[in-house]
Amino acid sequence: KAEGRGTVRFFEPEMDRKLQERERLVQDLRGALGRDEFVLHFQPYVSAEGGAVTGCEALIRWRHPVRGLVSPADFVPLAEEQGLIGPIGAWVIERACAEAARWEAGQRVSVNVSPLQFRDRSLPGTILEALTRSGLAPWRLEVEVTETVLIDDADAALDILRQIRAMGVRVALDDFGTGYSSLSYLRRFPFNKIKIDRSFVQDLTSRDDNRVIVRAIRDIAKGLGMTITAEGVETTEQAEQLRLTGCEELQGYLFSRPLAADQLGLGEAGPGRAA
């Protein structure tokens, strides 16, 4: 009996502590945008033939005053749940366009857009505003969405995606192969690019089945006029295999980790560049 009560006493403070900590994180998250605590890192894409940098993906981080650099996996879901992803997502688009406008060789910039940013109809307007303010050519911006965006309210999401494409902005399907019904989505929307998920790239050189899947994705993409990019490339063997398979673009730690804007080396030098 005494032991039972002891067990209860042991768990309650623990759960309490977890809840309190989460509550504090939510509080911090609410003020993070106003305190300018978010930062974008950029991870290059390279051409499979020749290795030139063709663009970069913008990846958000939260510079928390106590916790340090918080990964998006740890706060994006919380931001979505708390209804904060709209303004944070708009900030990402604004900053990514402003940064890319400085890149000398006209490389593209990709932004990840949460399915929840499709809930209201403000996304095309947010994008247009960011393009206008930065002067970035629309074709240099690419929006990355996952299949989940097309699950909830596919018709509304497709309508918004079409508006975005009509502006000349590119649309890419991220993490391809991890969701379901992928093929029907490909038929319903003309993506510019498909990003093959890291899970298929990982065992590419040791597993025949992954090689078969990557080839099949390539054939489908080619047939539909879409290009393919492989994410999470970590070894030269993977890169070579993907190049031979006809993958146009590669991305992964083999080429570069995500970097702070000033570490990228794509921007113009001189007074035009902010500190």
SS3 content of the chain, % helix, strand, coil (to 5): 50, 20, 30
* Stretch of 47-55, 63-71, 86-94, 167-175 contacting Mg ion, by CB under 5 A: 167-175
Among 56, 59, 70, 157, contact with ligand C2E (rule: CB under 6 A) = 59
Q: Is 175 near ligand C2E (CB under 6 A)?
A: yes
CB neighbour list of residue 89: distance below 8 Å, 6 or more residues apart: 113, 114, 117, 126
Closest by CA position to 59, among listed 73, 46, 48: 73
Alpha helices (runs of H) in the chain, residue ranges in sequence order: 2-32, 72-81, 85-100, 123-134, 154-166, 182-188, 198-202, 208-223, 236-245, 261-264
- Can you tell me the distance from the alpha carbon of 137 to that of 95, in angstroms, rounded to the nearest whole number? 15
55 is in the binding site of which of ligand C2E, Mg ion, none (Cβ under 5 to 8 A by kind)?
none
The size of the interface with Mg ion (CB under 5 A), counted in residues, is 5
Q: Give me the residue whose beta carbon is nearest to ligand C2E.
A: 252
> Would you count residue 142 as binding Mg ion (CB under 5 A)?
no
94 interacts with ligand C2E by CB under 6 A: no
| Residue 234 within binding range of ligand C2E, rule CB under 6 A | yes
Residue 226 contacts by C-beta under 8 Å, 6 or more apart in sequence?
186, 190, 191, 192, 193, 194
Q: Smallest gap, in angstroms, from Cβ of residue 228 to ligand C2E?
A: 15
* End-to-end alpha carbon distance in the chain: 64
Contact region with ligand C2E (CB under 6 A), list: 4-12, 48-56, 71-79, 237-245: 71-79
Give the binding range for Mg ion (CB under 5 A) out of 79-87, 166-174, 213-221, 265-273. 166-174
**Residue showing tokens 């993907």:** 242
Is residue 144 involved in binding Mg ion (CB under 5 A)? Answer: yes
Which residues of this chain interact with ligand C2E, rule CB under 6 A?
43, 59-60, 71-73, 76, 89, 92, 112, 114, 174-175, 231-234, 252-253, 258
Q: Which residues bind Mg ion (CB under 5 A)?
A: 112, 144, 174-175, 231
